[in-house]
């Protein structure tokens, strides 16, 4: 690098990652960790323009392996954070760091970035091989000093939107559309001419809803939703609303929206897709889902899975039923992304009352309805609203297997099913959410703490008797989870509680395919040799690059060495002093120029005045 470029924090396009980052999941990783990392990649696809793919021999890649935690071998210190405190958070500093001047050399020499992941309870920590004798753990991007960082780390949360500020991201790979109907153009949606009624953009309806879901009536002169009035018109009357044309990339999508039914139970909402192909340029309609149910006095969250491969529109069709209606059907806060929908949704209403009245411990514990995984395992989630006895003022959440209809046909102990519990941040834009999540993987060899029985064996073998609200008895296995899922303070800080309710999204999926070893690929580059003589100063390491010796300079939290022989030291304090000195110098120069200009103008004005007076006297 040139001397001028050495001072630049971004060292050029030649040192930047491609948009698709190769990765390796080392065999030392536990199964739960592998599943979490893949979920973190999905978050990046949703909220950034970065994608990931398995390593195929590329020169630069990210390797994730199990280690002993975060630390700097040069200082023999340890600095660990919670394992899933932000599984997706550290990858961005890794990618940013590769483009920084004082760390690019190490990454070029090493050829890869490694994650040191202590799965016993610490976050993956970025480390760089430094020379041949140790590991130097300088991140290069120091986020921990930012106040906003402390709200993101340690929260088991999705990627925070302040990463967009750092990375200046202009697009997303898997995000497709969002609409809260706050603008009159209703996000480019169109009303069909083939129906006999219309959707209306309203802020309230006498029969309900009283407000939109976006702002819940808290913002004056804002807060709109789309409403189809079923109190008028004949049976079978319809209103059709179509989104703008969308262009899929992945072949699967998840449509999420909030629905309010103040009409009659016979009223229907149909979700269609209009697909455009060369054979059908005007589009063909395909019914995806029919939504029905009794009227309710609250907004309800719905997920609809789509599998579209050609350009398309999403179509919302409301239909009036045969019964007497005083209101109609309403929709709000629509989000569409190329992600997988959650398998199940647990809606807990009157949650503020539960928070205020539930005691800590088992007396304040509630259970979800029973759910089934895609493989047929029955499971349930327990929630300690006010935490456990030893950990109050937190949400505690645990996953249980329960006896089900398929137990005789299933494999026991339950093997490699990863259950994910997500407390939804109900922000209207999916890209701005920081939902809180926890994943549990069923290890078939895990033993119960106090016995030799397998933890994830048949519930009727290792569980205890329990009963549903209707009195039906069943067997509930032991629970696995965390007593510190989310603090009450954090719970109230965002949009987790909305319309006095919370949503817990549940998914249980088979991850046994992650047991297989990722294929080993021979690297396409040769590591440089060490120099015979070390010309580097200040503990710099010399390596041979393109048959020439190159110094790799050490760096710390707020200092670094630079130059051909690491002879010059830089620091954040020095940069601050230079910036302040430069500002003062510029100010002084401008002040001198201003004073000089003023004196010259005054002198010129005085001379002009004297010349004028002289001419007057001569006349």
Q: Residue 120's pLDDT band (boundaries 50, 70, 90)?
A: very low
3-state helix, strand, coil in the chain (%, to 5): 20, 35, 45
Structure tokens at 533: 């003589």
Q: What is the per-residue pLDDT for 82?
A: 32
| CA dist., res. 29 & res. 266, Å (int) | 52
Q: Residues 599-619: what's their mean pLDDT?
A: 67
Count of alpha carbons within 13 angstroms of residue 555, beta-carbon side: 28
- Are 243 and 314 spatial neighbours (Cβ–Cβ below 8 Å)? yes
Q: Rounded to the nearest 5°, which phi and psi values hold at 281?
A: -65, -20
Give the list of residues 6+ apart from residue 19 with CB closer than 8 angstroms, or none: 49, 50, 51
The DSSP code sequence of 265-296 is: TT-EEEEEEEE--SS-TT-EEEEEEEE-----
Q: What is the per-residue pLDDT for 356?
A: 95
Q: Residue 503's pLDDT band (boundaries 50, 70, 90)?
A: very high
What are the residue ranges spanned by the domains of the chain? 3-172, 175-337, 344-515, 532-592
Q: Residues 226-243: what's their mean pLDDT?
A: 96
Give the list of residues 6+ apart from residue 490 with CB closer than 8 angstroms, or none: 155, 436
Say which residue, 120 or 278, is predicted with more confidence: 278
Q: Is residue 576 predicted with pLDDT exceeding 80?
A: no
The DSSP code sequence of 510-530 is: E-GGGGSPPPP---SS-PPPB
Q: Is residue 17 predicted with pLDDT exceeding 90?
A: no
Which residue in this structure is represented by tokens 């340690």?
Answer: 154
Express each pLDDT in 194-233 by its tens digit.
Answer: 889 999 999 999 999 999 999 998 888 889 999 999 999 9
Q: What is the per-residue pLDDT for 469?
A: 94
| CA dist., res. 386 & res. 371, Å (int) | 24
Give the list of residues 6+ apart from residue 120 with CB closer than 8 angstroms, or none: 83
Express each pLDDT in 24-59 by its tens digit.
Answer: 888 888 999 999 999 999 998 998 888 999 998 888
Q: What is the per-residue pLDDT for 618?
A: 52
| CA dist., res. 560 & res. 139, Å (int) | 12
- Are 486 and 434 spatial neighbours (Cβ–Cβ below 8 Å)? no
> What is the second-level CATH architecture of the domain 175-337?
Sandwich (2.60)
Q: Residues 124-142: what's their mean pLDDT?
A: 31
**Long-range pairs of 359-365 with CB within 8 A, sequence gap ≥ 24:** 359/386, 360/384, 360/386, 360/387, 360/388, 360/389, 360/391, 360/392, 360/393, 361/388, 361/389
CATH of domain 344-515: 2.60.210.10
Q: What is the per-residue pLDDT for 160?
A: 56
* Cross-sheet strand order for the sheet of 312-319: 190-191, 238-242, 312-319, 268-275, 284-291
Q: What is the per-residue pLDDT for 194?
A: 85
Q: What is the per-residue pLDDT for 205?
A: 97
Q: What is the per-residue pLDDT for 531?
A: 80
Q: Is residue 152 predicted with pLDDT exceeding 60?
A: no
Q: Residues 75-95: what's their mean pLDDT?
A: 43
Give the list of residues 6+ apart from residue 445 with CB closer than 8 angstroms, or none: 413, 454
- Are 173 and 21 spatial neighbours (Cβ–Cβ below 8 Å)? no
Rounded (10°) CA dihedral 69, 71, 74, 77:
-110
């Amino acid at each position: 690098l040139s001397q001028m470029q050495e001072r630049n924090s971004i060292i050029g396009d030649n040192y930047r990652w491609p948009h698709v980052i190769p990765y390796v999941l080392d065999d030392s990783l536990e199964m739960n960790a592998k599943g979490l990392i893949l979920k973190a990649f999905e978050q990046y696809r949703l909220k950034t323009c970065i994608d990931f793919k398995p390593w195929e021999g590329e020169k630069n890649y990210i390797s994730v392996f199990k280690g002993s935690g975060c630390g700097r071998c040069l200082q023999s210190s340890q600095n660990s954070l919670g394992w899933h405190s932000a599984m997706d958070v550290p990858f961005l500093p890794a990618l940013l760091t590769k483009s920084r001047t004082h760390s690019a050399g190490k990454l070029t020499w090493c050829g890869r970035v490694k994650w040191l992941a202590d799965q016993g309870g610490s976050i993956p920590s970025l480390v760089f091989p430094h020379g041949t004798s140790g590991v130097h753990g300088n991140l290069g991007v120091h986020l921990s000093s930012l106040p906003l960082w402390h709200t993101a780390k340690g929260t088991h949360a999705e990627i925070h939107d302040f990463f967009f500020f750092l990375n200046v991201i202009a697009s997303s790979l898997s995000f497709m559309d969002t609409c809260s109907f706050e603008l009159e153009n209703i996000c480019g949606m169109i009303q069909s001419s083939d129906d006999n009624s219309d959707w209306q953009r309203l802020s309230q309806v006498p029969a309900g809803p009283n407000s939109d879901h976006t702002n819940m009536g808290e913002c004056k002169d804002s807060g709109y939703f789309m409403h189809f009035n079923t109190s008028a018109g004949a049976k079978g009357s319809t209103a059709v609303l179509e989104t703008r044309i969308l262009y899929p990339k992945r072949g699967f999508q998840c449509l999420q929206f909030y629905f309010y039914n103040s009409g009659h139970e016979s009223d229907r909402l149909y979700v269609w897709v209009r697909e455009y192909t060369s054979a059908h340029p005007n589009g063909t309609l395909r019914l995806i889902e029919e939504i029905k149910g009794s009227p309710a006095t609250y907004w309800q969250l719905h997920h609809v899975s789509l599998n579209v491969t050609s350009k398309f529109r999403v179509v919302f069709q409301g239909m009036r039923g045969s019964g007497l209606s005083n209101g109609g059907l309403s929709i709000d806060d629509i989000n569409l992304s190329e992600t997988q929908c959650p398998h199940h949704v647990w809606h807990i209403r009157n949650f503020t009352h539960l928070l205020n009245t539930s005691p800590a411990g088992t007396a304040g514990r509630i259970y979800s309805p029973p759910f089934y995984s895609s493989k047929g395992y029955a499971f349930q989630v327990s929630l300690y609203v006010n935490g456990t006895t030893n950990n109050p003022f937190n949400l505690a959440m645990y996953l249980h297997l329960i006896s089900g209809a398929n137990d005789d046909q299933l494999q026991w102990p339950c093997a490699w099913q990863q259950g994910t519990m997500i407390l939804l941040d109900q922000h209207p834009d999916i890209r701005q959410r920081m939902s809180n999540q926890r994943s549990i993987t069923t290890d078939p060899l895990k033993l119960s703490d106090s016995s030799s029985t397998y933890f994830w064996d048949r519930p009727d073998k290792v569980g205890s008797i329990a009963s549903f609200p209707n009195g039906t008895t069943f067997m509930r296995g032991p629970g696995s989870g965390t007593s510190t899922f989310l603090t009450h303070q954090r719970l109230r800080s965002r949009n987790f509680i909305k319309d006095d309710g919370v949503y817990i999204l549940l998914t249980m999926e088979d991850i046994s395919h992650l047991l297989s070893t990722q294929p080993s690929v021979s690297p396409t580059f040769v590591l440089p040799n060490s120099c015979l003589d070390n010309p580097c100063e200040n503990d710099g390491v010399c390596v041979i690059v393109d048959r020439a010796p190159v110094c790799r300079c050490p760096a710390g939290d707020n200092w670094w060495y630079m130059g051909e022989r690491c002879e010059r030291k830089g620091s954040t304090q020095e940069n601050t002093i230079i910036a302040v000195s430069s500002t003062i110098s510029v100010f002084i120069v401008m002040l001198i120029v201003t004073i000089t200009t003023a004196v010259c103008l005054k002198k010129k004005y005085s001379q002009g005045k004297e010349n004028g007076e002289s001419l007057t006297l001569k006349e």
